[in-house]
């Protein structure tokens, strides 16, 4: 047992010294927690929620951190507002994965979006998020959201051509049910269902931590969308391995995320909403890549 200062009044409170550790072969990330709030083995993965001291409630799948209440805003704001404010006229959006609800919550801040389809394979993730991550899952009952519990790969394969303005792949890592979301066949289907000015955004792992996957998926995006239409951007997420996280922005024939940046559109959105990370400077700066990342994605 250790003494911790209570958040409310600064008095010492006794806390058991228990740690959650996400382990890789060579590195690990640990968060101290008060205990496990939820544990369920679904048909696809082990779904758990921990009450961490530093980052609030945390969702993990098969022992890997998916999101925490304390820093989820970085990931969800960046995966959403960068494509939304670049495209500028998204009416119909598709989220693949995203069962915690954070991406849907951010998308629905854009009042001109008419429909958001979200295809999450695991109902247990949605259930756990509704119970223990209320601030993240807050828009899962929104009338504009069509939540489908199914395999996103199958959904995209069966969708009609040119039916979405934006597809966001808010997936797990390329293991378990998310594996097929990192394949050329899947990305080709996403390309097919995008409208001519449509955009695909994916969480594209950590350039430091997941080097092989990172390089492979960018080569794949360039093959499908063309070199000039693929861009990588970065954000800093303390509870993901190495803290440096990447997203890909690929467009069929639509706007360039930096050259076509519309400052007044971004400013009016930012001023009308309470955001914790995204702003006009961050939007542009996120596409400035360190040399080693530029080499890995082979983009200019």
Going residue by residue from 114 to 153, which x/- string records binding to ligand SAM, judged by CB under 6 A? -----xxxx--x-------------------------xxx
Site for ligand SAM in 41-70 (CB under 6 A): 61, 66-67
Distance of closest approach, residue 133 Cβ to ligand SAM, in angstroms = 10
Q: Is 43 a catalytic residue?
A: no
Rounded Cα distance between 18 and 35, Å, is 8
Is the Cβ of residue 117 or residue 199 nearer to ligand SAM in the bound state? 117
Burial call 160-192: b when 16+ CB within 10 Å, e when fewer: eeeebbbbbbbbbbbeebbeebbeeebbebbbb
Is the Cβ of residue 186 or residue 191 nearer to ligand SAM in the bound state? 186
Is the Cβ of residue 60 or residue 229 nearer to ligand SAM in the bound state? 60
Determine contact, residues 151/157, Cβ cutoff 8 Å: no
Q: Quote the tokens at residue 19.
A: 């740690």
How many chain residues are in contact with ligand SAM, going by CB under 6 A?
A: 25
Torsions phi, psi of 64, nearest 5?
-110, 140
Tell me: does residue 99 bind ligand SAM (CB under 6 A). Answer: yes
Distance of closest approach, residue 108 Cβ to ligand SAM, in angstroms = 16
Site for ligand SAM in 227-286 (CB under 6 A): none
152 is in an annotated binding site: yes
76 is in an annotated binding site: yes
Is the Cβ of residue 200 or residue 266 nearer to ligand SAM in the bound state? 200
Residues with Cβ within 8 Å of residue 212, at least 6 apart in sequence = none
Choose among 87, 67, 285, 88: nearest CA to 200. Answer: 87
Tell me: does residue 98 bind ligand SAM (CB under 6 A). Answer: yes
Determine contact, residues 10/17, Cβ cutoff 8 Å: no
Determine contact, residues 49/37, Cβ cutoff 8 Å: yes
Region of residue 37 (left: phi > 0; alpha: psi -120 to 50; beta: else): alpha
Residues listed for the chain: 300
Tell me: does residue 77 bind ligand SAM (CB under 6 A). Answer: no
- Catalytic residue (one of 165, 170, 260, 262): 170
Tell me: does residue 170 bind ligand SAM (CB under 6 A). Answer: yes
Choices 130-138, 164-172, 189-197, 266-274; region in contact with ligand SAM by CB under 6 A: 164-172
Is the Cβ of residue 58 or residue 119 nearer to ligand SAM in the bound state? 119
Residue with tokens 């303005």: 165
Torsions phi, psi of 88, nearest 5?
85, -20
Provide the 10 A C-beta neighbour count for residue 8. 7
Q: Which of 69, 71, 77, 100 binds ligand SAM (CB under 6 A)?
A: 100
Q: Which residues bind ligand SAM (CB under 6 A)?
A: 61, 66-67, 75, 96-100, 119-122, 125, 151-153, 170-172, 177-178, 180-181, 203
The residues annotated with a catalytic role in the active site are: 170
**Residues at the annotated binding site for spermidine?**
76, 100, 170-173
């Amino acid at each position: 047992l250790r003494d911790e200062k209570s958040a409310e009044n600064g008095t010492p409170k006794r806390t058991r010294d228990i740690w959650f550790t996400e382990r890789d072969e060579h590195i690990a990330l640990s968060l101290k927690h008060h205990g496990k709030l939820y544990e369920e083995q679904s048909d696809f993965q082990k779904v758990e929620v921990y009450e961490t001291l530093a980052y609030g409630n945390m969702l993990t799948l098969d022992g890997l951190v998916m999101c925490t209440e304390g820093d989820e805003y970085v990931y969800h704001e960046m995966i959403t507002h960068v494509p939304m404010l670049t495209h500028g006229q998204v009416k119909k959006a598709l989220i693949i994965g995203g069962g915690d609800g954070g991406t849907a919550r951010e998308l629905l801040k854009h009042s001109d979006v008419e429909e958001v389809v979200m295809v999450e394979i695991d109902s247990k993730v949605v259930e756990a998020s509704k119970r223990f991550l209320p601030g993240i899952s807050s828009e899962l009952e929104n009338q504009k959201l069509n939540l489908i519990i199914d395999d996103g790969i199958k959904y995209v394969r069966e969708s009609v051509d040119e039916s979405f303005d934006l597809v966001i792949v808010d997936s797990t890592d390329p293991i378990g049910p998310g594996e097929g979301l990192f394949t050329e066949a899947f990305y080709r289907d996403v390309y097919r269902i995008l409208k001519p000015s449509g955009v695909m955004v994916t969480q594209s792992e950590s350039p430091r931590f997941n080097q092989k996957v990172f390089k492979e998926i960018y080569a794949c995006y360039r093959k499908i969308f063309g070199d000039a239409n693929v861009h990588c951007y970065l954000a800093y997420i303390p509870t993901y391995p190495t803290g440096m996280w990447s997203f890909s922005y690929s467009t069929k024939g639509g706007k360039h995320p930096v050259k076509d940046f519309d400052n007044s559109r971004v400013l009016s959105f930012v001023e009308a909403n309470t955001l914790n990370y995204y702003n006009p400077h961050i939007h542009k700066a996120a596409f400035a890549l360190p040399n080693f990342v530029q080499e890995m994605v082979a983009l200019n």
